[in-house]
Amino acid sequence: MLHIIVDVFICLLIADFVSGLGHWAEDTWGAPGRSPLLDKWVILPNIEHHRRPGQMRNKSYWETNHVTVILALVVLGGLLAFHVNAWQAYLTVALISQSNQIHKWAHSQTVPFWVRWLQRIGLLQSVAHHGEHHKRPYAYRFCTTTNLLNPVLDGTGFWHGLEWVIERCGISVKRATEARGGY
């Protein structure tokens, strides 16, 4: 039984890291005008979210989660096509598909009691924890699922180190827009 609990916890941490990596990339390079499809479904909603974080609370479940759910379904299709039998892979994809919902709860004062309890113990991201992401220079707390990885990744300088490596490869790493700490 303990190994199942450990596996579930690891799946949660992987989902948190993937949400953070996606959020970091979106905030770093997600500038409008490069792709009408990305603009409509990812870039412009992200910019609007950083300008007015609380507006996320007014969206329906589908408006909040459609992008992550669709991406998760694509990954799920790949897992099925390659006959992946590890339940942990499916759980991780399911958790990633809900990262925007968890993010929405981190902007909400009124959530189900079980969500509040999971936020209190750090297994789901709390309002206070996520609020740090919306402060200048907007370069911290990219993971949106738990309170667990951000202190480690921020404390070790992971995101700055990743940016340093990417810049050494000749790729610019400036925040894409002023609303997200851009130049």
pLDDT at 66: 92
pLDDT at 175: 62
94 vs 137: CA distance, rounded Å: 31
pLDDT at 131: 86
Distances (CA, A) of 160 to 84, 91, 154: 34, 30, 8
Residue 113's SS3 state is: helix
The least confident of 24-33, 94-103, 154-163 is 24-33
pLDDT reading at 179 higher than 90: no
pLDDT confidence tier of residue 177, bands split at 50, 70 and 90: low
Residue 35's SS3 state is: coil
pLDDT at 105: 96
The 10s digit of each residue's pLDDT in 111-135 is 999 999 999 999 999 999 988 888 8
11 vs 58: CA distance, rounded Å: 29
Number of domains in the chain: 1
DSSP per-residue letters across 149-183: HHHHHHHTTHHHHHHHHHHHTT-----SSGGGT--
The 10s digit of each residue's pLDDT in 59-72 is 999 999 999 999 99
Range of the domain at 100: 2-180
pLDDT confidence tier of residue 176, bands split at 50, 70 and 90: low
Of 136, 138, 180, 183, whose CA–CA distance to 159 is shortest?
138
pLDDT at 183: 37
Model confidence, pTM: 0.89
Distances (CA, A) of 71 to 10, 38, 90: 21, 13, 13
Asked whether 102 and 124 are in contact (CB, 8 A), the reply is yes
